[in-house]
């Protein structure tokens, strides 16, 4: 019984330590002074008429893949 209480106390202390530890600061791994800039996802809508109804689909120019399925509008 005493061993179970001791184990429970240690587990509780360890879990509190993990929750209360501050996060480490994040730094860029660049030594040449290069500036990191986010890339904008460029997209283009494509349109078609399917079975007499208009549809559109979104194409990602940046990633060269379809972002959506054909949808009616």
Instruction: Indicate the domain borders of the chain.
Output: 41-73
pTM exceeds cut of 0.75: no
pLDDT band of 29, cuts 50, 70, 90 = low
Token pair recorded at residue 15: 């879990």
Task: Render pLDDT for 42-68 as a digit per residue (tens, 0 to 9).
Answer: 999 999 999 999 999 999 999 999 999
According to the model, what pLDDT value does residue 56 have?
98
Which three-class secondary structure state does DSSP give residue 21? coil
**Residue 30's pLDDT band (boundaries 50, 70, 90)?**
low
What's the pLDDT band for 37 if we cut at 50, 70, 90?
confident
How far apart, in whole angstroms, are the C-alpha atoms of residue 57 and residue 65? 11
Helix locations, 1-73, DSSP H: 2-20
């Amino acid at each position: 019984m005493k061993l179970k209480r001791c184990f429970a106390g240690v587990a509780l202390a360890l879990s509190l330590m993990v929750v209360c530890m501050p996060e480490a600061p994040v730094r860029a791994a660049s030594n040449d002074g290069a500036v990191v800039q986010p890339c904008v996802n460029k997209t283009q809508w494509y349109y078609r008429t399917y079975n007499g109804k208009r549809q559109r689909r979104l194409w990602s120019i940046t990633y060269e893949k379809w972002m959506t399925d054909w949808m009616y509008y």
